[in-house]
Amino acid sequence: MSVLEIRNLNKHFGAVHVSRNISLSIAEGQCHALIGPNGAGKTTLIHQISGVLRPDTGEIVLAGRDITASATWQRARAGLGRTFQLTSVLPSFSVLENVALAAQAKAGSSFRFFRPAATEKVLNDTAMATLERLNMAGRALVPAADLSHGERRLLELAIALAGAPRFLLLDEPMAGLGRVESAMLIDILADLRRSIPMLLVEHDMDAIFRLADTMSVLVDGQIVAEGSPEDVRNDPAARAAYLGDSGR
């Protein structure tokens, strides 16, 4: 069964048609990668899935629920977790507080930033378990402002996971990471994809070919190729549009 289904999505900005009848179907246990050149419409599609933008026509269905008209917070409550192209954390709060806040948003508890952590044991236990899953427990009490760029990426992923997502929307999680940090994050995502299906928007082709079960190539707002990574690598339209003659 498809966890995320996008049906004939269209979006215009004036006379510019930025999403052209886009359809995707992502099942349990799948990582689906979306690639394409700058200006292809990837960000616009991400914004429509996450609720920042409303499509002109088409449907977005998450776990059998039509979320096309839902607000961003309603989508999060329905199980949509996302990371951003640029990190979005609260720099003055600790790593643990950032993740506990996300757990609170999902649980609807009485979390207060300035109350002692011990008074919110359930939230902090959830947050700590999430950090342990990402090998970040040792940084729990560190202010987010003091993290490295790679650690902030992991914190943002922890924030998404703390909401117990049914589906993950990953917007260029490798952006700005060095080779070692990228390799570590790829290993983490490879483990997560076993339990949480995901849509991965990424320029790092090593990450794409390591993680993706299926992938789509978006050019000028429309999907020009789709299939397994090897199918797309060998597709003439995909090679011409994005992958180049080398296929990478």
Contact 36, 222 (CB under 8 A): no
Q: What percent of the chain has pLDDT over 90?
A: 57
- Is the domain of 139 the same as that of 149? yes
- From 100, 133, 164, the end of a domain falls on 164
- Is the domain of 114 the same as that of 138? yes
Q: What percent of the chain has pLDDT over 70?
A: 89
Residue 221: HSE in the Cβ half-sphere, 13 Å Cα cutoff? 15
- Is the domain of 114 the same as that of 174? no
Contact 51, 70 (CB under 8 A): yes
Helix (H) or strand (E) holding 206: helix 205-211
In this structure, of 44-58, 60-74, 159-173, 231-245, the range with the lowest mean pLDDT score is 231-245
What is the average pLDDT across 158-165?
Answer: 90
Q: Which domain holds residue 94?
A: 87-164
- From 118, 148, 164, the end of a domain falls on 164
- From 164, 191, 209, the end of a domain falls on 164
pLDDT of residue 107: 62
pLDDT exceeds 80 at position 121: no
pLDDT of residue 167: 96
Pair of tokens at residue 124: 């902090």
Which pLDDT band, with edges at 50, 70 and 90, does 69 fall under?
A: very high
- Is the domain of 74 the same as that of 175? yes
- Is the domain of 71 the same as that of 170? yes
Number of domains in the chain: 2
- Is the domain of 36 the same as that of 20? yes
- Is the domain of 98 the same as that of 42? no
In this structure, of 20-29, 126-135, 141-150, 233-242, the range with the lowest mean pLDDT score is 233-242
pLDDT exceeds 60 at position 146: yes
- Is the domain of 179 the same as that of 212? yes
In this structure, of 131-135, 144-148, 173-177, the range with the lowest mean pLDDT score is 173-177
| Dihedral sign from CA coordinates of 52, 55, 61, 67 | positive
Question: What 8-state DSSP symbol labels residue 42?
Answer: H
- Is the domain of 170 the same as that of 242? yes
What is the average pLDDT across 14-27?
Answer: 96
C-alpha span between 236 and 48 (Å, rounded) = 29
- Is the domain of 7 the same as that of 67? yes
At residue 163's C-alpha, the angle toward residues 173 and 56, to 5°, is 70
- Is the domain of 94 the same as that of 122? yes
pLDDT of residue 91: 87
- Is the domain of 10 the same as that of 50? yes
